[in-house]
């Protein structure tokens, strides 16, 4: 299994541009999440999904959109990039639930985004 894959690995945007960060998993996980990691801030949850067709907001959702049309894919869209969105973005997936190790999240390698 490839696990959780993310593309691109690195992206430079100008303020106001839009783009989509791709995330895919081949583990048949129901739950998928997007986090951003800023220096000294740990990871913060942007959006998450508990299954195809179901998404919800996390701690810092403003400026981002998500959709979940398939179990495998969970793209994150930046609508109009701002310098404050410069960060490292991680996608994660899990089976979901509260038992049997289903809570363990598997992370992708991350996408480094620089907004000028």
Partner 1 sequence: SQQGEEDPQALSIQEGENATMNCSYKTSINNLQWYRQNSGRGLVHLILIRSNEREKHSGRLRVTLDTSKKSSSLLITASRAADTASYFCATDVGTSGSRLTFGEGTQLTVNP
Given the rule CB under 8 A, which residues bind partner 1?
A: 4, 31, 33, 35, 40-45, 48, 50, 58-59, 90, 92, 94, 96-98, 101-110
Shortest distance, position 5 Cβ to partner 1, whole Å:
11
As measured in angstroms, the least distance from the Cβ of 31 to partner 1 is 5
Q: Which is nearer to partner 1, 65 or 105 (CB)?
A: 105
Residue (17 or 37) nearer to partner 1, CB: 37
Smallest distance, partner 1 to C-beta of residue 111, A = 10
As a residue count, the chain comes to 116
38 vs 80, which CB is nearer to partner 1? 38
| Closest listed residue to residue 116, CA positions, set 79, 77, 84 | 84
Q: Measured from the CB of residue 71, what is the shortest distance to partner 1 in angstroms?
A: 14
Which residue, 1 or 40, is less far from partner 1 as judged by CB?
40
Q: Count how many Cα atoms sit within 13 Å of the Cα of residue 83 in the half-sphere of its side chain.
A: 1
């Amino acid at each position: 299994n490839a696990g959780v894959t993310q593309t691109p690995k690195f992206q430079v945007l100008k303020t106001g541009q839009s783009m989509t960060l791709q995330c895919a998993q081949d583990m048949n996980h129901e739950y998928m999440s997007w986090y951003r990691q800023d220096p000294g801030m740990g990871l913060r949850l942007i959006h998450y999904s508990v299954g195809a067709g179901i998404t919800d907001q996390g701690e810092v959702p403003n400026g981002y959109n998500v959709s979940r049309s398939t179990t495998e894919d969970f793209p994150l869209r930046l609508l109009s990039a701002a310098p404050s969105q410069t960060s490292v973005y991680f996608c994660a997936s899990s089976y979901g639930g509260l038992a049997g190790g289903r809570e363990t999240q598997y992370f992708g390698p991350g996408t480094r985004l620089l907004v000028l």
